[in-house]
Amino acid sequence: MKILRLCCALMASASMAACAATTTAVADMQAAALVPVAPGSYLLLDNAGTLNWYNPDATIKNLGVKQAELLDVVAATDTLYGATLMGENYLPTLLTINTEAQSVAVAVQAPAPAFLPEALCLDKNLDGDISLFVVDERGGAEQWLMADESGPVDPTLVRRLAIAPNVTSCASDNNGNLYAAEESVGIWQYPADPELPASRAVVDMAEPFGALAGASETLAVVGSSVIAVSAKSHQLALYTQGDGSFTRHIVGQLEGLGEPEALRAWFSSDDKQLHTLLRDDDTGLIHQNMWALPDSVTLAQLLPVTAKVIATVKPTMETDPVVRFGDAADDPAIWVHPSDPAASRIIGTDKKHGLLSYRLDGKQVQMLPTGRLNNVDLRYGFNWSGTSGDIAVASQRDHNSLSVYQLNPATGELTYRAEVPTGLEEIYGLCMYQDGDVYYAFANGKSGRFEQYQLSASDGQVFGKKVREFSVKSQPEGCVADDARGQLFIGEEDVGIWALSAKAADPSNITEVKMIDDELVDDVEGLALYPANDSRYLIASSQGDNTYLVLQSQAPYATLGKFRVAANTALGVDGISETDGLEVTHRSLGKGYELGAFIAQDGHNVMPEQPQNFKAVSWQAIAEELGLE
């Protein structure tokens, strides 16, 4: 039993850049799937559901895996993984593959799906996490975390996602993209990263809406390129991506096939050819071909994608989710207990409900249903009509006002106190500033206008006096004040970060801190300073690429580093993405946060899927990763 390898001859038709003299494999080479795992070696899933090792000398070794259906393989740093569905209940199964011993072992199994699986594919992300996508023929899929950089883990359902119905094949490029072939319709691209918003893009469609004759029922990914076979014409096409769309390149014509499925493809740097394996569902035979590349395709498009390396830290705590799904959680503040750091609180806004308070283990302890709040900030030692206490202020979108709260200085308990009207329309961002014994709140509206209010309390009432007004040209949101230096930083979402004096009597001349570029990707959202008594670092949410930028807080405002927050699979806490608001403190919050903490809103709370929440990262981890003091 062997595979017949034949070289490609040029076709007479000029429309074909290359071809292969396909001919079937030897007549008894029948299999449900054939996947390369080493030079000349393959995993062979036979039609009876038994997994075998196919050797270069054409011998077959039974691997002891039975009742298997579907097969995929992905290489991690030190391990080669396979995936299949096993048993009568189609258990999603991760296999470890030993190429030297020519063996496989069952690593972990996820629970049986509550649907009939039609396709599966493995994905490896930037952090080395291995996910298994199991596709429901009715139009859904489950993403299971099966392994991380340390090895196999207890399977965790990351999310359920909606994809096209009647998907017959899927594949990942291991660079954040998942591809699916929808029978009779076309090929789609989806985000494989659960931290990205749900979306899809067209790779190609069936005629007459695209160039696929009868669409495609099978596909593969090589490097950053998608390979597919037209269901009717049996043309092999390669799709390259650029500028948000895909370009189709004809590789050649497959001959002697009935119904093509189970496509595997790879590029060989030795012979500079594209290799394909394809099953004919009519006969069960495996076809192997080698193809010369079209002139319009570059080698780089077929080589493994090298992702840009960004410093990475992991969260060590997440809060309870907010009540409702959608864009709800927004901005956090940190209240530090005066004598017991571990009793500190995280205060957060819920744009659909009110103000939230959490313990440092993430458990919610208060919910004040005071309306649609966007941003929140706080200060210590406010004079509450002769009683010293702490104060929090939030931007109130229902009334375009400032919602004012008193914090018990011994417990951090919040009490709603007042609503201070503003002159803003569509109030949005907010931050506080303390100048000696005088407390201020800066609020902005979507028009770009800022208003500065001096806050005071007398006879049980709270008052706000507008003392200054200034504006930027487009929508702002995040801002943060450096109390020690009397400086205010503001974020203009699509433009960049500006600085000006925070003092009410000073001119409102703004100076450039950091404009949108390759490092700071719009939108600019949350801003924070570390530490509060020295303010050496300005931290900004670079929402467009799910990262955070650390800048000097004084001119020339040099970039000191950039980091992202990836999933902590050991703790079952997902990463942070699409961050609106963030906060940081240099003060100890107890064990694990001795040098302070970074708190950020997570726009996509998965593993499992829940409404948005806030997550915490040790500042020490960030400082060590970026080489900061």
* The predicted structure's pLDDT at residue 532: 63
Q: Which residues contact 122 (CB under 8 A, 6 or more apart)?
A: 72, 73, 74, 81, 82, 83, 130, 131, 132, 133, 172
* The predicted structure's pLDDT at residue 2: 39
pLDDT tens figures, 457-502: 999 899 999 999 999 999 999 999 999 999 999 999 999 999 999 9
Least confident of 6-20, 191-205, 394-408: 6-20
Q: Please report how many Cα atoms fall inside a 13 Å half-sphere around the Cα of residue 507, on the Cβ side.
A: 3
CATH 2.120.10.30 in the chain is located at 95-302, 329-562+580-586
* The predicted structure's pLDDT at residue 27: 36
Overall average pLDDT of the 200-223 stretch: 96
Q: What is the DSSP string of 601-621?
A: EESS-TTTT-S-EEEEEEHHH
Instruction: Provide the pairing of β-strand 286-291 with 273-280.
Output: antiparallel
Contact 603, 577 (CB under 8 A): yes
Q: Which CATH number fits domain 329-562+580-586: 3.20.20.450, 1.20.1440.130, 2.120.10.30, 3.40.470.10?
A: 2.120.10.30
* The predicted structure's pLDDT at residue 11: 26
The proportion of the chain whose per-residue pLDDT surpasses 70, expressed as a percent, equals 95
Is 544 exposed, middle or buried, given 0-12, 13-18 or 19+ CB atoms closer than 10 A? middle
Which of 437, 429, 383, 439 is CA-nearest to residue 406?
383
Q: Does domain 95-302 have CATH number 2.120.10.30?
A: yes
If you ran DSSP here, which 8-state letter would residue 569 be given? Answer: T
* The predicted structure's pLDDT at residue 57: 87
Which of 134, 116, 159, 145 is CA-nearest to residue 72?
134
Q: ∠ at Cα 262 (9, 213), nearest 5°?
A: 65
pLDDT tens figures, 59-75: 999 999 999 999 999 99
pLDDT above 50 for 15: no
Contact 137, 115 (CB under 8 A): yes
The proportion of the chain whose per-residue pLDDT surpasses 90, expressed as a percent, equals 88
| 536 pLDDT tier (thresholds 50, 70, 90) | confident
pLDDT above 80 for 17: no
pLDDT tens figures, 574-603: 999 999 999 999 999 999 999 999 999 999
Residue 181 CA, chain-centre distance (Å), reads 23
φ, ψ at 170 (rounded to 5°): -140, 160
